[in-house]
Amino acid sequence: ELARLGYEPPQAAGMDTGGLTVRGASANTVIELVPDFDRSAYEAACARRRTCVRDPFPEALLHPPGLVGEVVDWVNSSAIQAQPVLTLGAVAATIGALLGQLLRTDTDLRTNLYCVGIGETGCGKNHARTRLQGLLRQVELGKHIALYQFPGAHALNANQKDQPRLCWMPDEFGMVLHAIGDEHASGTMKAMKSTILDLYSASAQTDAGIRYADPANNHLLDYPCLSIYGTTTPKVYYSAL
């Protein structure tokens, strides 16, 4: 972490720098000194960071039984650069939307899922979206997928009225989060945050939706099922949080 910020251990023997120097520092540079710099601890921390390996995703979860597993395998079979973990999220969100209002657990949990596929540009994260869109259109269920980028709270609310079982699959979802959190965003974009959260919580009840001044435009949403599968790059996504 110190190296990333521009610091490095002193190299010249006998140089009294308090433990740190700064690359490219001028005579007027103000340096915050860290006394008693532990070089061995610093190097050990760097070594741990270089060798840090995440545990692999459980293989058994990548091949679930039933319809979800069949669709996952079908999507992966045509991928030039397979992303089985991202495919699982995309398929689970899509099937969850299709089964909305039809299934529930004994604790009243519904099948609406919010998933984000995070990967670098060109890694193949858009393949699942493309294949699922084509599949649902082939079986005349394309109305259950929405691909728009920045719908705004009112548009999303209206779509839930027209199609209560919907899987929203935006690309560049990190940019959507940036737009929602932008202090200069329009009111309808700022309201997206509460709308998305409200729709998730309302899957087991009737939701009043957004209220308008004209009562004719107000409507109730009975057990709305909104699923989300968004894709984004790590840099854009994490900078929006």
For residue range 122-150, what is the model confidence (pLDDT) as tens digits? 999 999 999 999 999 999 999 998 877 76
The pLDDT score that the predictor gives to residue 211 is: 61
In angstroms, the CA 210 to CA 56 distance is: 42
End-to-end CA distance of the chain: 21
For the chain, residues with pLDDT lower than 70 are 1-39, 41-42, 45-54, 150, 207-219
What would the DSSP string read from start to end of 107-146? Answer: T---S--EEEEE--TTSSTTHHHHHHHHHHHHTT-GGGEE
Give the pLDDT score at 182. 86
Question: What local confidence, expressed as pLDDT, does residue 140 receive?
Answer: 93
Residue 11: per-residue pLDDT:
46
Closest by Cα among 110, 106, 117 to 79: 117
Quote the Cα angle for 33-35-37, to 5°.
105
Rg (CA), the chain: 24
Instruction: Give the pLDDT score at 229.
Output: 95
Structure tokens belonging to residue 155: 């548009």
